[in-house]
Amino acid sequence: MIDYIILIVVLAVLLVGVGGTMLLRPRGMHGVRRSRAKELDLTGSMTAVKDEENNGRSGTATATATAPPPTPTAPAQRAPEPAAPPRPTLEKPPPSAGRMVRLRARLARSQSGFGAALLSLLSRDRLDEDTWDEIEEVLITADVGVTPARQLVSDLKTRVKVEGTRTPAEVQGLLRTELLAQVQTEAPRTLRTQRHEGRPAVVLVVGVNGTGKTTTCGKLARSLVGDGDTVLLGAADTFRAAAADQLQTWGERVGAETVRSDKEGADPASVAFDAVSTGIEQEVDVVLIDTAGRLHTKNDLMDELGKVKRVVEKRTAIDEVLLVLDATTGQNGLRQARVFAEVVDVTGIVLTKLDGTAKGGIVIAVQRELGVPVKLVGLGEGPDDLAPFDAETFVDAILGVDAPR
């Protein structure tokens, strides 16, 4: 009989425990929820995740990151869940180094003969004014922009006059030097994704919808994981229904958690704030925030993006604001870029779709226009088709130079 009573008491205590846990389940601000990628089966690999550097950081995913630390409520939370979601296989992305060289062929194919046309014109016996005009035209058609094109032609004229004879190799060398002078910037291209003492690096990804923002966030998360960083994603593009799912899928493939909202159209600033707070709490290396890029008016954008930035900065400083630009949109893309640069301090440009029909001159034009370096380039739809931009590889690809590497 006593045993029977004890059993009833134990059952009652358990029931109260489960009910209480359900009621008190923590929620983020404004219904923000976290997709815990770490709750998935991560036992597959993740050996690339640096562990030595992370020594002493609690909560940081390591090579053996599997489940979050057990809490008294963990069994009670799991019990009512009907069926386990399908477990994606955790991938081990390659590191970022050397990617642009690997993707060089794609870059060369996409430049629609811009380098070859210049080389052929410059190799003519007589370089008269008409030829120089043609050279300028090729540069402008390749999206270099009028002012830089004129500058290039003027510099080339001077060099040709001084150097006289021109063998094909000399012409190539000449053009290479001049293009490099236009493509290279003073500003460093290295992404500021180093974790700081006591807080993660925070990267805000902005740009017009359709440019490849969400894809870039996903690819960048992969690349950072490939380099050994722990990453947390913030789905602050709450206006496009599929964006959060898209981002979460990217994250799950490499074991990066996504902070998102339950509600479509939720306040993007709240999601961004919650993402950064979670990133600080979990002591991850980098927090990547995807934002919405509705460009109705500059005021809308200022309200939206300006607020995201202000709210995040209440919690921590932002290390990078990456502007994603579709390289195939030419001058129109440049106009959009200008509006974004007025609203937020852009620190780097990601040029996507450079594998397509883009004309490479946009690299020169956009850097000059915004005074900000291109830091990353998208060279395809594949998960690892995002590369740190390298000026020499880019110019060599345009000119068809087999760079000794």
375 binds ligand GDP, rule: CB under 6 A: no
Contacts of 314 (CB under 8 A, 6+ apart): 273
209 binds ligand GDP, rule: CB under 6 A: yes
309 binds ligand GDP, rule: CB under 6 A: no
> DSSP secondary-structure letter at 123?
T
Task: Produce one character per residue of 68-88: b if its CB has 16 or more CB atoms within 10 Å, e if not.
Answer: eeeeebeebeeeeeeeeeeee
Binding segment (CB under 6 A) for ligand GDP, from list 46-54, 147-155, 169-177, 348-356: 348-356
Beta-sheet strands, E only, within 262-397: 286-291, 320-326, 348-352, 374-378, 386-388
381 binds ligand GDP, rule: CB under 6 A: yes
Binding residues for ligand GDP, total number by CB under 6 A: 17
Q: Which of 380, 387, 393, 396 binds ligand GDP (CB under 6 A)?
A: 380
Q: Which of 28, 115, 148, 212 binds ligand GDP (CB under 6 A)?
A: 212
Q: How do the residues of the chain divide into helix, strand and coil, expressed in percent and rounded to 5? A: 50, 10, 40
Binding segment (CB under 6 A) for ligand GDP, from list 86-94, 125-133, 189-197, 350-358: 350-358
* Nearest residue to ligand GDP on Cβ basis: 378
Q: Could you tell me the two tokens for 3? A: 């045993």
Tell me how far apart the alpha carbons of residues 64 and 44 are, in angstroms, rounded to a whole number.
9
- Rounded to a whole number of angstroms, the minimum distance from the CB of residue 22 to ligand GDP is 35
Q: Could you tell me the two tokens for 92? A: 């081990």
Which among 376, 305, 390 is positioned nearest to 344, based on CA atoms? Answer: 305
- Rounded to a whole number of angstroms, the minimum distance from the CB of residue 335 to ligand GDP is 17
- Rounded to a whole number of angstroms, the minimum distance from the CB of residue 65 to ligand GDP is 26
215 binds ligand GDP, rule: CB under 6 A: yes
Binding segment (CB under 6 A) for ligand GDP, from list 23-31, 206-214, 359-367, 389-397: 206-214
Q: Which amino acid is at 371?
A: G
356 binds ligand GDP, rule: CB under 6 A: yes
282 binds ligand GDP, rule: CB under 6 A: no
Helix 330-343 with 362-370: angle, nearest 10 deg = 20
Tell me how far apart the alpha carbons of residues 48 and 255 are, in angstroms, rounded to a whole number.
12
- Rounded to a whole number of angstroms, the minimum distance from the CB of residue 208 to ligand GDP is 7
Q: Which of 21, 270, 336, 352 binds ligand GDP (CB under 6 A)?
A: 352
Residue ranges binding ligand GDP (CB under 6 A): 207, 209-215, 352-353, 355-356, 378-381, 385
